[in-house]
Amino acid sequence: MNLKSTFHKMWPLYLLVIMMWLKTYIVYKTSFDIKIESWMQELILFINPLSFLLFFLGITLLVKEKSRIPLLFVLGSIASFILFANVGYYRFFNDFLTIPVLFQTSNMSDLGNSATELIQFSDLFIFADLMILGAVLAFAKKKNNMSITQPLLKRDKSAYVLLAVIISIVNLGLAEAERPQLLTRTFDREMLVKNIGTYNFHIYDIILQSKSSAQRAFADGSEFVEIENYLKANVRQPNEELFGVARDKNIIIISMESLQNFVIGETIDGEEITPFLNDFIEESYYFDNFYHQTGQGKTSDSEFLLENSLYPLGRGAVFFTHGTNEYQATPEIISDYGYYSSVMHANNKSFWNRDIMYQSLGYDRFFEINDYTVTEENSIGWGLKDKDFFEQSIEHLKSQPEPYYTKFITLTNHFPFELGEEDKMVNEYTSNSRTLNRYFPTVRYMDESIKHFIQRLKDEGIYEKSIIILYGDHYGISENHNKAMAQFLGKDEITPFDSIQLQKVPLIVHIPGQEGSTISRVSGQIDLKPTILNLMGISTQNQVQFGADLFSSNKFPFTVLRDGSFITSEYVYTANTCYEKSTGEAIDVAACEPYMDKAKRELELSDKIVYGDLLRFYNGNDYLGEEVLKQEEN
């Protein structure tokens, strides 16, 4: 075989493969925070783009000679755009794109400044190899060196395919040796990208999407037996003193956009960041060990957790992928007890597919952007400012029949955290992160907005006959800003343990007339539904739910995050490392092993419910949670 002749005919293909290979590796190291723990992991990361690119760009060998170069540019552009899209998405979400996220096209029109903030001039580098190839081809054509248009022999193609197969086998072999059962860890996208590469990850993601789509078609009620048995074993009694304390009272829930717990009680230049919440906590039940458990669906995932006590999906947003499923959601349940339910959110009704999903959840009314007066003066960033939103919502609230269950979703404290000078009540922070710097003024603005809203509830006579629940929906500052976050927290660095602690969000349950207290039991958003229903005096024994009453004295102190990390009263497990919760020190992973199966199983069982739409087969009367309660009492 004349290798020199073969390369001479195929040099544009080899040139683009090599350039895209090196480019992808450089992007891995500069744009993604992929943690490397050994030289073997570094080697795998280095070679994994090559296994895909050889096959993908090798498709050009299947077409006629005159079509090879145009197709090469098309395929190169597709691969480059995939890389570019992942870089932009990762810059804020610290995650990789999945097929369900790409289907969320109705969100794109509302991204506005958030999207432009994520694109940088340096991103043009991602397409530089295509420009270089174009220039080299133009030069070759000028020199009449266009041997690439010559026919390829069968042996030329065979040699190329053999090379691609060998590289792929080596890549997969090393990946499997480094991380056994790699492809079963679908919730850990970083691990998948680190071992099989971002391009192969998307192929695998397509396979998963096809599999999940088929799961519903072949599901039947028998699959519920395992889930039911697991839930029975985890039933917990509610707090007897607080059970029914909110019966026939209005339930007002405020979803506080991007609010993390680390700002509570903190100051900027001597000024409190959350002065109202700090005071409100003193007269409320405050859960200071409460974690968000959202995935790629962010705010919509927090809503899903709140209403269903099921976990969101590891890929995409449930609101989009399974918006027409049958659910056993709080709004539908409380309708049987005379409650009117609504959501107030000054955004397009189709954003996160809310107009469809809210019907599936059983909401009576959705007050969306067309129910508000939005002008250039009273809006910024993602839309209506929080103060105006709450003020205009008062009339909507008064128009509803009582008792009602109403959820408010704020907007102003949303990335990219824009705020006019007239609304800033604390200074921006000073660090290398523009995002973190601007975060504090928008948090302070939201705090002031909630203060005014609570006062308006008092003025209108609504406050005394309502239970008010405030919770943070998800993180606002991703791990991409760890250097600045370490500076703010006075740490040398942000460790994986610290990153988990930064997933804490505030939860405040305010019951007028009660003093409240701080409760430090480990908990998460999945516990909201059973807690609220028990406060309303509605039994949750027959509910399909993975959470437990936050006020229950025998609640198991355990919270699992969507990426498989988990927290107990003693340990934190994340990134394959076990930490002692009290010190943050890494310890023998054996200490965390007793909880690993529980974390994995809960996520898998919840996914099975959603993917299979299993609640369509469920009859609440079949769930005998009462038997477990009686056993506990005895």
376: phi then psi, degrees, rounded to nearest 5: -65, -30
CB count within 10 Å of CB 192 equals 22
The answer to whether residues 494 and 502 touch, using CB atoms and an 8 Å cutoff, is yes
Q: State whether residue 514 is helix, strand or coil.
A: coil
- Whose CA is closest to 311, among 478, 187, 469? 187
CA–CA dist 220, 222 (Å, integer): 6
Identify the H or E element spanning 405.
Answer: strand 404-409
For the chain, give the number of residues: 634
Give the 3-state secondary structure of 447-511: HHHHHHHHHHHHHCCCHHHEEEEEEECCCCCCHHHHHHHHHHHCCCCCCHHHHHHCCECCEEEEC
Q: Which amino acid is at 524?
A: G
CA–CA dist 379, 392 (Å, integer): 13
367: phi then psi, degrees, rounded to nearest 5: -85, 110
CA–CA dist 309, 482 (Å, integer): 31
CA–CA dist 535, 467 (Å, integer): 9
Q: Give alpha helix (H) positions in 237-325.
A: 275-282, 298-308, 318-321
Residue 434 tokens read as 């523009």
- Whose CA is closest to 85, among 162, 171, 27? 27
Q: State whether residue 17 is helix, strand or coil.
A: helix
CA–CA dist 402, 398 (Å, integer): 9
Q: State whether residue 425 is helix, strand or coil.
A: coil
Q: State whether residue 304 is helix, strand or coil.
A: helix
The answer to whether residues 510 and 284 touch, using CB atoms and an 8 Å cutoff, is yes
> Helices (H), strands (E): how many in the chain?
22, 19
Q: Which amino acid is at 99?
A: I
User: Quick one: DSSP state of residue 264?
Assistant: T
Instruction: Give me the residue label for tokens 């810059």.
Output: 91
User: Quick one: DSSP state of residue 313?
Assistant: P
Q: Which amino acid is at 399?
A: S
Q: How far is CA 303 from CA 117, 297, 368, 571, 576, in A?
A: 26, 9, 16, 27, 29
The answer to whether residues 361 and 355 touch, using CB atoms and an 8 Å cutoff, is no
CA–CA dist 586, 563 (Å, integer): 19
Q: Give alpha helix (H) positions in 490-586.
A: 496-501, 528-535
Q: Which amino acid is at 552?
A: S
Q: What is the largest CA-CA distance in the chain?
A: 91
Beta bridge partners, 343, equal 366, 407
Any catalytic annotation for residue 299? yes
Given the residues 98, 198, 299, 559, select the one marked as catalytic. 299
3-state helix, strand, coil in the chain (%, to 5): 55, 10, 35
Q: How many CA atoms lie within 13 A of 627 on its CB side?
A: 9
Catalytic residues: 299
